[in-house]
Amino acid sequence: MNSESTPGFFSSEVVNLPLLRQRAFNLRWAEVDSDVIPLTAADPDFPVAPPIIEAITAHISDGVLCYGPTRGLVEFREEVSASLEVGGIPAHPDQVLATDGAASALWASCRAMLAAGDEAITFDPVDFLLPHCCEVAGATVVRCPLEPISGAIPEGSLEQLIGARTRAILLCNPHNPTGRVLRREELQRVAALAVKHDLLIISDEVWGGIILGDVPMISIGSLGEDVARRTITVSGFSKTYGLAGLRIGFIHCGSRTLADQVLEASGAPRTTFGASVVSQVAAVAAMRDGQQWRDEFLQHLRRLRKIGASRLDALDGFRCPEPEGTYLLFPEIRSTGMSATELAGQLETKARVAVVPGEERWFGAGARGHIRLSFATSEEILDEALTRIERWSEAR
C-alpha cells in the first residue's frame, strides 16, 4: 500500500464521534455527557488499520468460526515470537499464550505464579492493573516509590524491599502513567536483583510500540539468559493498534516450565479462558501489515505530545514534561493549590474535559498531585480540549 492511497489516517475527519459516543466505553465518549471531551482511558479515537479490517472481514465471511488451538493460533504465536525476537527476547512460539488483552495476560500470569503468603513488588505510581492482579492472586503488594521528578527506578531502595516472601517484581515499560521509557541501566539493576534473589519478573510491555522520543525500548527479557528464563512478558494490541474492543494480548514465558504452569493455571486447556480466534486474526494482520498505519500513528502522536505538553506546561500551577513513550500526559498540578480530584472535578464541570485524577485507586499514592490525559485523538479535538482548559485556568 503506498502513502497516496492512505491519506489522513489521523485527520479530524476520520474521527467518527457519533459512533464513538455509542461504542467507546471505559470512561470515554459513551460514558460522559455529550458536551464533554474524555481524555481519560487510553484508547485511540481512530478507525483501525485497513489491513486489519480486511483480515477480519475475510475471516468472518468464510462463515467458519470454530474453536482455535489451546495456546492460540500458530500464526499468532509465531508472529508474536518473531516480534519479541526483534526486541532481543529469546522467544519461542510454544511459550506464547494468546489472551483476551494485556490485562487478562497480567491476571493469568499473577494467578499462575503468586499465592497467598507471597509478596510481589511493583512501583508507585503505576497503573492499578499491576497491583490489582497481584492482589487477586492472593499476594501482598509491596510498592517501591519511583524518583519524584524523573519517574526513574531509584537506586538502592528496591533491594531493601526484597524479603524471604518476595516472589516477583512487576514492571510497566514504557511506564503508565509517567510516560517514562526505562533505561538499560535501570533494567539491568532490576534484572540483577531478580537473579540474585531468585525472583520472577513480570513485565507489562503493552506500551512497547509507542515510543515517541529518543530513548529506545528495551525489554528486560532481552538482558541475558539468566533474566530471560525468569521473565514473563505480557503485552497486547489495544495501545499500538487500537484493538481494545477485540480484547487481544499475549503472555510470553521465558522457559517451557513457566509456560506450562501459566497455561495450566489459565484454564485454557479446559476452555474456560482464551482469546477469540477473530481477534487473533486481527492481531496477525496488525503485526504483518499494520506497519504503515503504526508509523503514521507514531508521527501523529509525536506532534501531539509536543502540543499537549507545552500548552499544559504553560498553565499556572502545571508542570508537564513530554512523555518518552505512551500517549499519556501526566502533569504535576500541586502548585494550583488543588488536589488532583478537585482539579479533575473542576475540569469536568467547568471546562467540560474529563481526565483521570492521580488518585491512589488508579495509580497508587505516588500519583497524588498529578492528573493523566490521553492524547490519542485528533489534533482538532486535542486543541479544543486544551483551549477549554486554558480558558478555565485563566478564569480561576
Question: How many distinct helices (H) and strands (E) make up the chain?
Answer: 15, 12
- The smaller minimum CB distance to ligand PLP, of residues 221 and 392, is found at 221
The label of the residue with cell 525500548 reads: 217
Site string for ligand PLP, 297-336 (x = CB under 6 A): ----------------------------------------
Options 79, 118, 119, 204; binder of ligand PLP; rule CB under 6 A: 204
Specify the pairing of strand 166-172 against strand 119-124. Answer: parallel
- 171 lies in the site for ligand PLP, by CB under 6 A: no
- The smaller minimum CB distance to ligand PLP, of residues 108 and 193, is found at 108
Tell me the closest approach of the beta carbon of residue 102 to ligand PLP, in angstroms.
3
- 133 lies in the site for ligand PLP, by CB under 6 A: no
- Number of other CB atoms surrounding residue 185 within 10 Å: 11
- The smaller minimum CB distance to ligand PLP, of residues 51 and 101, is found at 101
- Compute φ and ψ for 354, nearest 5 degrees: -100, 135
Beta bridge partners of 236: 249
- The smaller minimum CB distance to ligand PLP, of residues 249 and 336, is found at 249
174 prior amide bond cis, ω within 30: yes
189: Cβ–Cβ under 8 A, 6 or more apart, which residues?
Answer: 153, 155, 158
- 238 lies in the site for ligand PLP, by CB under 6 A: yes
Helix (H, G, I), strand (E, B) or coil at 299: helix
- The smaller minimum CB distance to ligand PLP, of residues 133 and 312, is found at 133
- 249 lies in the site for ligand PLP, by CB under 6 A: yes
- 206 lies in the site for ligand PLP, by CB under 6 A: yes
Query: What is the DSSP code (8-state) at residue 352?
Result: -
Options 15, 89, 110, 129; binder of ligand PLP; rule CB under 6 A: 129
- 176 lies in the site for ligand PLP, by CB under 6 A: yes
- The smaller minimum CB distance to ligand PLP, of residues 197 and 362, is found at 362
Tell me the closest approach of the beta carbon of residue 2 to ligand PLP, in angstroms.
31
- 42 lies in the site for ligand PLP, by CB under 6 A: yes
CA dist., res. 357 & res. 341, Å (int)? 5
Angle 362-365-366 from CA coordinates, rounded to 5°: 100
Angle 303-308-313 from CA coordinates, rounded to 5°: 130
Query: What is the DSSP code (8-state) at residue 350?
Result: I
- The smaller minimum CB distance to ligand PLP, of residues 132 and 350, is found at 132
* 5, 373 contact by CB (below 8 A): no
Options 39, 139, 172, 182; binder of ligand PLP; rule CB under 6 A: 172
Give the total of residues touching ligand PLP (CB under 6 A). Answer: 14
CA dist., res. 179 & res. 240, Å (int)? 15
- 251 lies in the site for ligand PLP, by CB under 6 A: no
Beta bridge partners of 319: 332
Quote the cell numbers at residue 98. 494468546
Options 49, 98, 103, 114; binder of ligand PLP; rule CB under 6 A: 103
- 151 lies in the site for ligand PLP, by CB under 6 A: no
Helix runs in 90-237, H state only: 102-113, 129-136, 157-160, 184-196, 225-228
Specify the pairing of strand 140-145 against strand 231-236. Answer: unpaired
Question: Which region among 99-107, 159-167, 361-369, 383-391 touches ligand PLP (by CB under 6 A)?
Answer: 99-107
Question: Which region among 100-108, 111-119, 159-167, 178-186 touches ligand PLP (by CB under 6 A)?
Answer: 100-108
Tell me the closest approach of the beta carbon of residue 344 to ligand PLP, in angstroms.
17
Specify the pairing of strand 119-124 against strand 96-99. Answer: unpaired
Contacts with ligand PLP by CB under 6 A lie at: 42, 101-103, 127, 129, 172, 176, 204, 206, 236, 238, 244, 249
